[in-house]
Structure formats: C-alpha cells, structure tokens
C-alpha cells in the first residue's frame, strides 16, 4: 500500500488490527496497534475497541484490561458491547476486581444514556 504511494488512515489501521486479531494473530495486531500509536498518536475509540476485543478473544483478559484503562485515561469511548464481552472474559479469567471496575463503567454508561434520553 505504502509502496504505491498510499498512506493508511485510521480506518485502514483499525480494519487491519481487527482482522489480524480475529484471525488469531493477536501479537501481530498488538504490534500494529503500538506502531499506529507511535506514528499517528492516539487511536480512535473504534481502534481501541477492536484491540480490546482481539485480546479478549485470545484469552488475554489482563492485557485487555490494561488497554481498557489506557483507553479510559485517553478519554476514548468504550462501546457497551465491548464491556459486556469483556466482563465475561474477566470473569472466566477470575479477574473479579477488574470485572467490578468494568461493571461500574458499564453502569455509568447506562445511567448517562438513560439521562440523555430523558432530556
């Protein structure tokens, strides 16, 4: 792609990260994610969610949790669907303290969405 003079954008990177992770190449996906961060700055919410889902699917719940915390610190939005899948992965990995934190974030998201609908 770059040899042809084309520059990848956020959508390209996110699609590649998601595809690699879904194909079971989570280490390659994580490497691309890290290169993306160093070259382009803060990835968008979709990219973070794709990487968290990939780590969950690879049974790397604690790695996903670390990325989840980074996502929150950067101010990126975590999708509720990602949180639900993530809760299950943390529970299966017996990471109950982390699951409680993700559950609290999910509850706050639900409250915020409910309050928005009322106004």
C-alpha 107: how far from chain center: 18
The percentage of the chain sitting over the pLDDT mark of 90, rounded to a whole number, equals 44
- Alpha-carbon torsion, ordered 85, 11, 47, 40, to 10 deg: 180
Q: Is the pTM of this model over 0.85?
A: no
- Please tell me the predicted confidence (pLDDT) of residue 117: 62
* Phi, psi (deg, nearest 5) at residue 23: -85, 0
**CATH class, range 2-118:** mainly alpha
Average pLDDT, the chain: 86
18-43: pLDDT as tens digits? 999 999 999 999 999 998 888 877 77
pLDDT, residue 45, reads 85
């Amino acid at each position: 792609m770059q040899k042809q003079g084309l520059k990848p954008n956020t959508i390209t990177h996110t699609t590649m990260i998601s595809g690699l992770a879904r194909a079971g190449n989570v280490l390659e996906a994580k490497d691309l994610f890290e290169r993306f961060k160093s070259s382009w700055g803060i990835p968008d919410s979709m990219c973070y969610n794709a990487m968290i889902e990939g780590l969950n699917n690879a049974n790397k719940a604690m790695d996903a949790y670390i990325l989840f915390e980074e996502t929150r610190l950067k101010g990126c939005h975590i999708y509720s669907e990602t949180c639900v899948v993530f809760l299950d992965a943390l529970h299966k990995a017996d990471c109950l303290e982390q699951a409680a934190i993700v559950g609290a974030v999910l509850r706050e998201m639900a409250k915020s969405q409910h309050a928005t609908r009322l106004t």
